[in-house]
Structure 1
Amino acid sequence: MNLLEAIILGLVQGITEFLPISSSAHLIIVQSMFDMSFDGFSFEILLHLASVLAVMLYYRQDLFNIIRGFFAYFTNRSSENRTMFYFALYLITATAITGIAGILFKDYISATLKTPTFIAISLAVTGIFLILIERVVRHGHRTERELTMWDGIFIGLAQCLALIPGLSRSGTTLIAGVFAGLSKETAVRFSFLLSIPVILGSSVLAIKDLRSDALLAQTGLLELSAAFVITFIASWLGIVFFISLIQRSKLVYFALYCFVIATLVFLFRDSLTIDHM
């Protein structure tokens, strides 16, 4: 992998990770277009860690408040601490559900549904649901103070669907949150904060595949550094961009984009490779 390829993959991963358009589908398309490849999961782990670092820094104050409130609740059961305690509890619940599903079904899903045709269908389905929550479903107004355990369970179950190739993690959790009656702002916040333990957890599960010596030999320190930095910057910009658009009710743009990408994936399905998704 040369420097340009590392930059391109970092840019694609960063921009698409937190948008409801499936980062996995985009990595497949880009790798096929430029005939890129990399062995094992080490490079993918690196990119995901750069993305999670971006969301952790962006929501650093929220993370601090949640962690502080969670532990403070044991000695001071104020309204604010209670909100943060249960917010953290619901994040943990959703993460646990996804983690169990990932351990049980990820290999099976990847082996049976990892095809360009199914990825195209998944992207189209994402687009349909984005239009539904933008144009059809009545928007809820519940904030983090009104979250319930059922919200955590429902969003966690929806996030399990992102194990299916072509379905976006951020998209499924956002759609589930809005369908559950949360305000879009609360649904986005919960979705992004939920990405932290999920991405870190999946990276830990894949740590056995992380071979730093082999990764350096195959890719090079300059290329790895560039990919990490580009992914971090692009992830940050993707978060800011998405929050800005959702505040102006522009989810339909992402829906239309999903339809376009779904069509392209389906039309060129015979030329797409999916060995490294």
Structure 2
Amino acid sequence: MSYLAILVLSFIQGLTEFLPVSSSGHLILIPKLFGWPDQGLEMDVAVHLGTLLSVILYFREDIKDLIQHFFRYIASGFNQEKFTPETKLSFIIIVATLPAVIVGFSLKKMGMDMMRSIQLIATTSIVFGILMYIADRRPQLWGLDKINWGSGFIIGLAQAIALIPGTSRSGICMTAARAMGFDRITSARFAFLLSIPAILGAGLLTTIDAVKEGHSIFNAVFGMAFGLSFLFGLAAIHFMLSFLTRHGLGIFTLYRVVLGIILLTVM
């Protein structure tokens, strides 16, 4: 794989993992557009782990609090006095992750080649882009402290749908949250926190597949892709949270709709 391909694919993964435009869709499209061969499992592992590190580093204080409160509650013998808002949020994230795990394993058993078509990516880009715009018109009523078991699980169900290329994991999670009245920053923060087990799971499964097939994972390509996707992912998270303090999601809907129309027309 050329250095240009590594740079472009790392940039695409790092950026689109946290912007509501679909990382999986773009990672399928870019090699097709440039005539590049499939990036391979080594590349998939590297960019997944790179973006995982970026979100962990960015939310390290939040993650530290969630883990500490979770294990304090467990160690206390489930003492309700130790069941803090942070404990509750940690359990909600676990519960919200389950739908994606179940659907992900099911799709892996069935095979996903049928879900990699340009027409599907174009359609999901347009449809879920429009739904995101409609949801973002809702008033911004609730903060992170208002996320409960029901709303968390609904966002988790939305995340499971994002396994369809072109949907966007962060985009559909924010869409679900905004549709329920959560403010834009809360919607993005919860989507990013929820991405941690999702990216970890995807990276782990890809690593297992790579090892089973005898691929040498930790090489120069891995190091470059890992480092670049980490840096681009960190920048994307910071940009998105800063952007949403002043703007809505309309510009991303416009991009998705235009991209979808171009794909349906040209491809």
* Cα distance in structure 1, aligned partners of 2:84 and 2:97: 20
- Matched residue, 2:171: 171
* Cα distance in structure 2, aligned partners of 1:153 and 1:130: 18
- The one-letter code of the counterpart of 1:154 is I
Query: Deviations for 1:126-167, whole angstroms, at most 9, x for unmatched residues?
Result: 2202211233x23232x3322211112101111111111111
Deviation at 1:215, TM superposition (A): 4.0
- Matched residue, 2:155: 155
How do 1:63-212 residues align onto structure 2 when only pairs under 5 Å count? 63-74=63-74, 75=76, 82-106=84-108, 108=110, 110-135=112-137, 137-141=138-142, 143-211=143-211
Alpha-carbon RMSD:
2.2
Query: Deviations for 1:194-231, whole angstroms, at most 9, x for unmatched residues?
Result: 11111111222233222497346xxx943332221111
* Cα distance in structure 1, aligned partners of 2:104 and 2:158: 12
Query: CA separation of 1:132/1:39 partners in 2, compared to 1, >3 Å: closer, same or farther?
Result: closer
- Matched residue, 2:50: 50
- Matched residue, 1:268: 266
- Sequence identity, in percent? 33
Q: TM-score, normalised by structure 2?
A: 0.90
Aligned length in residues: 263
How do 1:249-264 residues align onto structure 2 when only pairs under 5 Å count? 249-264=247-262
* Cα distance in structure 1, aligned partners of 2:185 and 2:153: 19
* Cα distance in structure 2, aligned partners of 1:257 and 1:209: 34
1:241 partnered with 2:206:
no
* Cα distance in structure 1, aligned partners of 2:216 and 2:265: 34
Query: Deviations for 1:20-46, whole angstroms, at most 9, x for unmatched residues?
Result: 001122122221222212364232121
Deviation at 1:252, TM superposition (A): 0.5
Deviation at 1:58, TM superposition (A): 0.3
Kept after mapping to 1: 8 A contact 2:135/2:176: no
Kept after mapping to 2: 8 A contact 1:133/1:139: no
Unpaired runs of at least 5, structure 1: 270-277
